[in-house]
Amino acid sequence: MGGMGEDGRVTDNGRLVLAGAPIGQAGDVSPRLREALETADVVAAEDTRRLRRLASDLGAEIGGRIVSYYDANEVARAAELLDVLQAGYTVLVVTDAGMPGVSDPGYRLTRLAVDAGITVTSLPGPSAVTTALAISGLPSDRFCFEGFPPRKQGERTRRLAALAAEERTMVFFEAPHRLAASLAAMAEAFGADRPAAVCRELTKTYEEVRRGGLGELAEWAAQGVKGEITVVVAGHVQEALEPVIEDLVAEVARREEAGVPRKHAIVDVAKAAGIPKRDLYDAVHRA
């Protein structure tokens, strides 16, 4: 019994395994999860009933002890599970959906395990964050996850105001009954025309993706929305300062007076300003 250290040697401590649970379809989980459910000494579940249903769907028999691990008992339970890990046992953490620690219990225990030198690994699985980002149609090369917006209006307004200049695509979770208010607040903070996508019931039978400006989406959500919600919002785009063509023409003239051939001056000035040289050429000759 014992975990595997970073240098490959067996340690006396146990092993913490963070497992991705399906966000809708049981078949989306890692095949390794079935084995982990059967072999882990302790399975810590956000909802023990959902855990048993998932095990049944996967045809797995949970071999270890099952304990609850959710928001209300996370602090106390994390300390208990650390004792289990330090005794040399394997603890598997499974949340209702997605990866533990991503707006779900898991971070506190992971932090305690890391600080204690215990091996922490994962069984990669579905995540609503990356799934929504991928199908949103919005830029995905740089993004940030902002979790659930604050419930209180004042706190939400301040949080969103602080994100108004964020250039990365932003991903939020939101409860269906708060969606309309949050989208309206985002439209106020980011602009009604800011592109966004509301992803509902991802991977499930009634999956729906609504794309449009935040103002338009807020009006749609005001009619009532159900299901698990992930919101993807485009980042702030710095408005390009279009060069005034008269200033560029004047710059060409100054370079000509300094002895630079007009053709070369036009090419250099157009390149520096980021405009087609033909446009500047035509403007110089009109002048």
What does the block give as tokens for 109? 């225990």
CATH of the domain at 209: 3.30.950.10
CB 251 within 8 A of CB 267: no
How many domains does the chain fold into? Answer: 3
Q: Which positions of the chain have pLDDT values less than 70? A: 1-12, 239-243
Residues 144 and 46 in one domain: no
The predicted pLDDT at position 261 comes to 94
CB 197 within 8 A of CB 128: no
Residues 223 and 261 in one domain: no
CA 103-107-108 angle, 5° bins = 130
Final residue belonging to a domain, choices 207, 233, 259: 233
CB 51 within 8 A of CB 40: no
The predicted pLDDT at position 4 comes to 42
Q: Within a domain: residue 9?
A: no
The predicted pLDDT at position 11 comes to 46
Residues 101 and 187 in one domain: no
Q: Which domain holds residue 86?
A: 15-126
State the DSSP code for 111: H
What does the block give as tokens for 66? 């099952």
The predicted pLDDT at position 276 comes to 79
Q: Mapping DSSP to helix (H, G, I), strand (E, B) and coil, where does residue 224 land?
A: coil
Q: Within a domain: residue 2?
A: no
Tens-place pLDDT, residues 68-85:
999 899 999 999 999 999
Tens-place pLDDT, residues 125-173:
899 999 999 999 999 999 999 999 999 999 999 999 999 999 999 999 9
Query: Sheet holding 90-94: strands in order across?
Result: 65-68, 42-45, 90-94, 15-19, 119-123
Q: Within a domain: residue 7?
A: no
The predicted pLDDT at position 12 comes to 63
Q: Within a domain: residue 6?
A: no
Residues 164 and 261 in one domain: no
User: 144 has which bridge partners?
Assistant: 170
Give the global pTM: 0.75
Tell me the HSE value of 20 on the side-chain side, using a 13 A CA sphere. 20
Closest CA to 89 of 61, 123, 65: 65
